[in-house]
Structure 1
Amino acid sequence: MTFAATQRSRSEDRRISPVFWALLAILGTSGWAVYQGYGNSRFGIFLFVVAGWMVSLCLHEYAHARTALHGGDITVGAKGYLTLNPFKYANALLSFVLPIVFVLLGGIGLPGGAVWIERSRVHGRLKHSLISAAGPLVNLLAAVLLLVPVGAGWLDDSEVHAFWNGIELDVSPLALALGFLGMLQLSATLLNLLPVPGLDGYGIVEPWLSYKTRRAIEPFAPYGMLAVFALLWQPEVNHWFFEAVYGAMDLLGVDRAYPQVGHELFTFWKD
């Protein structure tokens, strides 16, 4: 293979996928429509939140892959992980289908699945921890970017107002959509940082555990995420978890009514 062909191959490995561009187009168009009051605002909020959530899932997995690339795993490019194409990831069901289903059913930000990192190519415990931490940090950054405009009140006095249960609210429907989407990002961040096998939080601490401890925990890794979400369906645990999420939103000055009303408007099919 010539040098030019090698360079072209590397460029193709990192070229942003048309699928991701389509998601960004849906996100931008639906956000503009909701803000301008064009069309059905509830369906617009639904499209905006779903597209925004999928974009964040792509970026979450990209962050893992990009950090792994710099850590020593040069195979992530050939696997298509740097193209932001959701269909290239290791498990489309865990990475995208289940997270969308959990948003639709319960308004919970389920962490995405995984890109397949060849850990043997990465040397150094800190690098392994950074690879696992990169995804949740993307969700945290997304939460801040989404919620700061809401907490600052930049959308409170818009010309287009949201309607909820027949009541006109003095806020833009886009503010409610941002509040709900930002809440999803925070919930995904907190869930991902739990030191439970199968989640990124455990991936952060795992390199620092003894070999004996890692081997003892390894058989339980496939069930860690299922156990967490079984617990989340318990009312007391669910209440505690969302109190933590809303407490984080309080730090950004966002009233919990924004994500709550945003979630209700998001579920347009309930009317």
Structure 2
Amino acid sequence: MTVTSIRPRDRRVSPVFLGILAVTAVTGWATWTGFAEQPGIAVFLFVTAAWIVSLCLHEYAHARTALHSGDISIAAKGYLTLNPVKYTHALLSIVLPVVFVIMGGIGLPGGAVFIERGRIRGRWRHSLISAVGPLTNVLFALACTAPFWLDALDGVPADFRFALAFLALLQVTAAILNFLPVPGLDGYGVIEPWLSHGVRRQVEPFAPFGLLFVFALLWLPALNGVFFDAVDAILSALGVGDLETYCGQNLYRFWQETNTFCSVSR
């Protein structure tokens, strides 16, 4: 089966993904207009749905690039439909990232599409397949911060601005974590094809624990500070201040007591 002979149903966008897009659009509208009596609920649903959309696009980018690099089995697995249910590890790619957003405001990188690497020839192709996922998060972050760095915030309601800032923070953290050259993360997948066979064999057993290792390091105050300083510096360069991201996270956690300073700023 060639790329051009893939069945139309294998390319058709899933109703599940369209439903998530609809939730994003409706709750984004509710956040913009202040339709909901509790704005935090609208922000929570908007950011969560948009975050799931970005996760789907992240995995789709991996799958689509693998397809055009030679792995035609991608289509039959349902990865081109953007349906999160089709992912090999839905828990790692959808459930845990959402839980970590709710708990800690960190964009947890997932890794869910199963790619038959033996079908792909060329080290550059293997590296590109790994790189396009976090690059999708980078593009998503640029889209979220566009009103900030384009100085186009006039008329943008405060709640919507705060929600975009928090969503951008999630995308930046996901991109940084994903690009780390740690086994099990996309950053390692970028460099892995260029390593010797012996090195790859030695590193392979640690791949399932790479993400856990990274998050264990983030519990260390010094490393956590360095990480979020880098995140803040990137967001600042994109025109997003600490106030916007802080108030966005504050609104997102609507079940907690709302900070008076953020309420006044709205």
What TM-score does the superposition give when structure 2 sets the normalisation length?
0.92
User: Who is 2:114 aligned against?
Assistant: 116
**Aligned mate of 2:215, from 224, 229, 233:** 229
Aligned to 1:179: 165
Task: State the match for 1:78 in structure 2.
Answer: 76
Deviation string 1:208-259 (CA, Å, 9 cap, x unpaired) is: 0011111111111111110001111222211111110111111111112111
Structure 1 residues 7 and 214, CA, compared in 2 at 3 Å: closer, same or farther?
A: closer
Paired position in structure 2 for 1:255 = 241
Decide whether aligned partners of structure 1 residues 120 and 53 sit closer, same or farther in structure 2, where only a CA change above 3 A counts: same
- Work out whether residues 157 and 172 of structure 1, in 8 Å CA contact, stay in contact via their aligned partners in 2: no
Match of 2:228 among 242, 245, 255: 242
Equivalent residue, structure 2, for 1:29: 26
* Separation in structure 2 between the aligned mates of residue 128 and residue 143 of structure 1, nearest angstrom: 24
Post-superposition offset of 1:8: 8.8
Asked if structure 2 preserves the Cα contact closer than 8 Å seen for 1:107 and 1:184, the reply is yes
How far apart in 2 are the matches of 1:264 and 1:7?
Answer: 48
Q: Distance in 2 between matches of 1:193 and 1:254?
A: 22
1:102-251 equivalent positions in 2, closer than 5 A: 102-158=100-156, 172-251=158-237
CA contact (8 A) 1:155 1:174 kept: no
**Other-structure match for 1:87:** 85
Aligned pair 1:269/2:255, yes or no? yes
Note the residue ranges of structure 1 that are not aligned, 5 or more in a row. 1-5, 159-170
Q: TM-score, normalised by structure 1?
A: 0.91
Letter aligned with residue 48 of structure 2: V
- Asked if structure 1 preserves the Cα contact closer than 8 Å seen for 2:6 and 2:75, the reply is no
Equivalent residue for 1:16? Answer: 13
Give the conservation status (yes or no) of the 8 Å contact 2:10–2:81.
yes
Question: Deviation digits for residues 152-174 of structure 1, max 9, x if unmatched?
Answer: 4433544xxxxxxxxxxxx5200
**1:51 is aligned to 2:49:** yes
CA distance in 1, matches of 2:7, 2:23: 28
Partner amino acid for 1:13? D
Structure 1 Cα separation of the partners of residues 27 and 151 of structure 2? 21
Over the aligned positions, Cα root-mean-square deviation in angstroms equals 1.5
CA distance in 2, matches of 1:151, 1:270: 30
The offset of 1:151, in angstroms, is: 3.7
Distance 1:263-1:12 versus aligned 2 partners, 3 A rule: same
> Match of 1:164?
none
1:268 is paired with a residue whose SS is coil
Identity %: 56
Deviations 1:107-166 (A, max 9, x none): 0000012200000000000000000001000000000000121344433544xxxxxxxx
Does the 8 Å CA contact 1:151/1:255 hold for their aligned counterparts? no
1:145 and 1:208 map into 2 onto residues whose CA distance is: 32
List alignment gaps of at least 5 residues for structure 2. Answer: 258-266
Partners of 2:143 and 2:54 lie apart in 1 by 12
